[in-house]
Structure formats: C-alpha cells, structure tokens
Structure 1
Amino acid sequence: MNKNGPPPPYEPPPTAPPTYSQSVGGVPPASPYTPIQSFAGGPTIVTTVVPVGPHPTHMICPQCGTEIDTATKTEPGMIAYISGVIIALLGCWLGCCLIPCCIDECMDVHHSCPQCKAYLGRHRR
C-alpha cells in the first residue's frame, strides 16, 4: 500500500509525437535546403546543396540564383604532394617527383559560378 495516499491520476498520452530534440536530444539535423534572401519583397528561392564532383556540375548558383554548369579549375591536391615526396625519397628527384602534379587523379577540382564568379566548392581526391 502507498504511504502517501492514492496513486496519481492517469495522464493521457500527448496528442502529437515528440519532436526530434525531445526524443533524441541535441540539435536537429541540418536541412539540405538553403533559402536565398529575396530583394524588394520578391519570391524566396529555395535551393538544395549540390555536392560537387570531378566534372562540371549542373546547379543553381546560391549567390546569383542563375541555373549554371559550374566552371572548374584543377590544382594539385594533398595526394599529389605526398606522392611527389615519396617519389623523391625513393631517389627519383630529377623532375620525376613532379609527375603526380600532372595527373588528373591527383588534382583537386575547384568549382565556381561562370556568371558571378562565386566560389562554390572543392572536390578533393
């Protein structure tokens, strides 16, 4: 028998399911949709975050809102530099260590908007 008196009354379950932060805790996952600020009361454009790859990517520029194929530029990445150092340590230091800087699979690809020249991301090898 309960010393404090009768048991508490039954509480009905909540009418709505718990929110993400109530059930899991913490910050909810980031949305893949990024709103672009509208100017002069115009419509708000919502774009998705598009992952960039080794080739030009078709997307809507988050800066200017234009539908584009990204402009790409390749630069030697970390793999090219590490490969060059390893080749130099193996004794091929008379120019052979620069070969990885000429191979596309060792290059990072930088993407930008051809319209507004905004930097859109990098694809690392």
Structure 2
Amino acid sequence: MSAPGPYQAAAGPSVMPTAPPTYEETVGVNSYYPTPPAPMPGPATGLITGPDGKGMNPPSYYTQPVPVPNANAIAVQTVYVQQPVSFYDRPVQMCCPSCSKMIVTQLSYNAGALTWLSCGSLCLLGCVAGCCFIPFCVDALQDVDHYCPNCKALLGTYKRL
C-alpha cells in the first residue's frame, strides 16, 4: 500500500472530534461563587455523616462581605473628554482648556507665509507703487489665531501655508 496523499486520510481507526467546551467552562462563569456541597443524609440529630461514617457538624459557608459605601465620603468626579479641535478661519465653539468655560473663539489675523508670498508675487508683477501691500489688508491671505474671550489664552493657530 502506498503512503496517503495530502488529501487522503490515513488508514486506521477514525477518531470522532470532541465537542468544544461550553461557554461556562471557557469563561469560568460562577467560578466566583462556589456551590456548597449537598448535605449527606444522616440521623435527625443535626449531625451529618462524613465520608468516613463518623458524625460531623454541618459545614459553615464563607460569604463574601459586601462593601457598604460610607454616606459621608461620597465624592463625584465629572470627567469631560474633549475631541481634538481643528482650527480653521472661522470661530469655533469649544470648552476652553484654561478656564473650562464653553466659549466661541475670537479671531486675530497675522501676516504669515501666504501673505508674504503674495506680496512678493505682486512686486515681481510690477505692483511696486504700494499695491504689493494689499495682501496685508486681506484677511483671507493671513494666518488666524484663536483666543478665548474670557481668559485671553491662545487656543490654536490656523496657518494658510
């Protein structure tokens, strides 16, 4: 007889696969609460007959004490999780990390890289008589700083380039 191929079963007794463990066996449900042993039948004297045939007292079971919260020490801590804020050229409603107030940011415009590049481009095109400074007056060409109106803290900057 030749050796079995990769898709042929080997000759011999077939083994039936066993069933996988149950969910309770896998996770260990009720492993925290042991089940008490069943009392063994014995005389009506209140004693239980042990495995060796002698009488013994009923088993005392250990119970887990439940912690009772102290009424005087109740402290509630509220945690606010804020998503990252993306700053653009429009005001943003957010919670200020400095003063923890809900605010709408105030905008301040500053000359940035796009402003200077626009000014240089206009100079090269021949706008030397002062027209090359127009980008410094146009908010759409400047960088934007976002400030808190309450505590005046700088919250973020939007750079055009």
TM-score with structure 1 length normalisation?
0.62
Secondary structure, in 3 states, of the residue corresponding to 1:49?
A: coil
1:22-101 to 2 correspondence within 5 Å? 42-101=77-136
Question: Per-residue CA shift, 1:59-118, capped at 9, x if unaligned?
Answer: 011121110000111112211101101111222111111011112220111101111111
Identical counterparts, % of pairs: 39
Offset at residue 57 of structure 1 (A)? 0.5
RMSD: 1.9
**For 1:121 and 1:69, how far apart are their aligned partners in 2?**
13
**For 1:66 and 1:54, how far apart are their aligned partners in 2?**
21
Taking a change above 3 Å as real, the CA distance of residues 116 and 42 of structure 1, as seen in their structure-2 partners, is farther
Confirm or deny: 8 A CA contact 1:47 1:62 kept in the other structure.
no
Is 2:139 the partner of 1:113? no
**For 1:100 and 1:113, how far apart are their aligned partners in 2?**
26
Higher relative contact order (CA closer than 8 Å, sequence separation 6+) = 1
**For 1:114 and 1:42, how far apart are their aligned partners in 2?**
27
Q: Which runs of 5+ in 2 are unaligned?
A: 1-75
**For 1:124 and 1:52, how far apart are their aligned partners in 2?**
9
Offset at residue 42 of structure 1 (A)? 4.9
Q: Which runs of 5+ in 1 are unaligned?
A: 1-40
Q: Based on CA coordinates, which of the two structures has the bigger radius of gyration?
A: 2
**For 2:83 and 2:97, how far apart are their aligned partners in 1?**
9
